[in-house]
Chains A and B, each alone.
Chain A
Amino acid sequence: MNEKVSTELVLTLAGYAGLPLAEDRAQALALILGPALQNLRAMRPEGYEHLAPGLNFRVPTAGDDTPG
């Protein structure tokens, strides 16, 4: 994957998200996001393909008013 994150890409993503973002802020965010993404995507521990995400979803049982 190519993690090169440009100011233009950040502005495009912000537009997609409906997030108002000035160009100078986009430039600053691009400098943070690019290396962070590179580090994250470089991680692939053994058995990664079989890993499930650590997310909570629970079907409530009777009498359980969980919002989850």
Chain B
Amino acid sequence: MSVIDDGEIFYLSLKQVSERIASGDLSPVEVLNAVIERTSGLEPRLNAYITPTFERAMDDARMAEREIAAGKYRGPLHGVPIGLKDNYWTEGIPTTAGSKLLADFVPTEDGNAVARLRAAGAVITGKLNMHELAIGGTTTNPHYGATRNPWGLDRIPGGSSGGSAAAVAAGFCFAALGTDTVASVRHPASHCGLVGMKATFGRVSVFGTVPLSWSLDHVGPITRTVEDAALVLNRIAGYDPRDSGSVDVEVPDFTRRLGEDLNGVRIGLPRKYFFEPLDPEVRDSVEAAIGVLRDLGASIRDLEFPSAPEAHVIFPFLSRPEAASFQEDFIRGRAEAYGDVRWNVELGELILATDYIRAQRLRTAMRQELEGIMREVDALVMPTTRTVAHPIGAPFTTVDGKSLDAFGLMVGLTAPFSLTGSPAISVPCGFNSEGLPIGLQIVGRAWDEAMILRIGAAYEGATPWSDRHPTL
């Protein structure tokens, strides 16, 4: 691994590059050129992109340069290269969702988050690889190839937003958007040594994303630092009547509590289930992180979230029928165009409405239980994943000698907070002996994203992990 030197523009944080653009020290064109050069050299090894859009990005960078020179600075994202998972609608640009079924889909408008990023002056670098239709966590895509983890090229980057995480980790862009149904922002962020965040369900509109599961899908940023996540969230959050799950609540400045210490902050540790089983090196890193949080002034207490293990039983009865509903014409008319996720959609067709409703009712019970727990603490912390990134193509079988199915292994620690709609962030908390990243998940009360950002930033500031980058 390496630490940044002055010549590596592509490894600056979004905040750092933004400040240098605002001051005139760097131009948006200069920044984009650094990113394009970096990508051109490494993309054949990583396969992070499905559709890079460098030509249009250069037009946008030139426009940003002219605007900033004319005193029309739009804010921290102005002129900053940002990538998009390929399930975000982009006007005039193919949006495949990692599927051959949508290979010819060219949206006629930008999705909500994309439009908001463009309005903020962001320079969109292109569309990033993902697990087919966002139904899985490896980003080993049967149609567009496997994305490789910059920290270990034989490893998965996680998923489903694996291209987004690989691109940010490799220096192809300064942030990327992913989508998270049960893990898909936090899981790849953890595997690639990055920050990945989903806000409270309804905080960020999902209008203009190819849906996997309407009642679970979240939009979220993948970034190098917690502050960068807050800066992106500041621009994409807000009520949108085109999304039936969007909630009309005040949007705070998500950077406002960054820098506050953790004195008086109460953190709960749900060790039962979330720490059993764990890869021993993941356990060591997370325990060390808990010690850091304590040293920073937080009070730590053990507690239980009893229904959490039920999440990975419940969520397939929500996500599969909802996916089958969106894909009803595909699965009937073009089933041969699916890769290895077809069975998920077929299963969704077979689930009774009463079982779907049962799952939604059980979800309500889980949310109510967590609300009770969160009256006692300000946040929960736990590992984001039970292991580091697996080798590409390897079966998901055991953790610390215990058998787990792939769902339990990949989404078991994140899915509970998708069902509850809670804000959750994964921050880097170390590396294993092979140099592979480990993530710490911080979960907050509904609508209190500021608290998990505050905790994440305090932890990040006390540890060296976000300064490290893969050697490629």
Contacts and interface: CB of A to CB of B under 8 A. Distances in A.
Are A and B bound to each other?
yes
Consensus secondary structure, chain B interface: helix
Contact-residue bracket for chain A: 35 or more
Interface stretch (B38-46, B77-85, B249-257, B363-371): B363-371
29 contacts: A13-B349, A13-B350, A19-B331, A19-B349, A20-B332, A25-B343, A25-B346, A29-B347, A33-B347, A36-B313, A36-B316, A36-B317, A37-B355, A40-B359, A40-B362, A43-B313, A48-B361, A48-B362, A48-B365, A53-B357, A53-B363, A54-B360, A55-B360, A56-B214, A56-B244, A57-B244, A64-B241, A65-B241, A66-B242
Contacts of B359: 40
B310 interface: yes
The 8 A-B residue pairs with the shortest CB-CB distance in the complex, in nearest-first order: A68-B244, A53-B360, A51-B361, A66-B241, A45-B365, A54-B363, A39-B313, A13-B350
A45 B307 contact: yes
A63 to B, nearest CB: 9
Interface of B: 214-215, 241-242, 244-245, 307, 310, 313-314, 316-317, 331-332, 335, 343, 346-347, 349-351, 355, 357-365, 367, 369
A22 B362 CA distance: 33
A25 B317 CA distance: 19
Nearest to B248: A64
A20 B241 CA distance: 37
Nearest to B240: A66
Interface of A: 10, 13-14, 17-21, 25, 28-29, 32-33, 36-37, 39-41, 43, 45, 47-48, 51-58, 60, 64-68
A40 B365 CA distance: 13
Contacts of B347: 29, 32-33
Best-surrounded residue of B314, B351, B367 (most CB of chain A within 10 A): B351
Best-surrounded residue of A47, A51, A54 (most CB of chain B within 10 A): A54
A20 to B, nearest CB: 7
B350 A56 contact: no
Contacts of B313: 36, 39-40, 43
B241 A54 contact: no
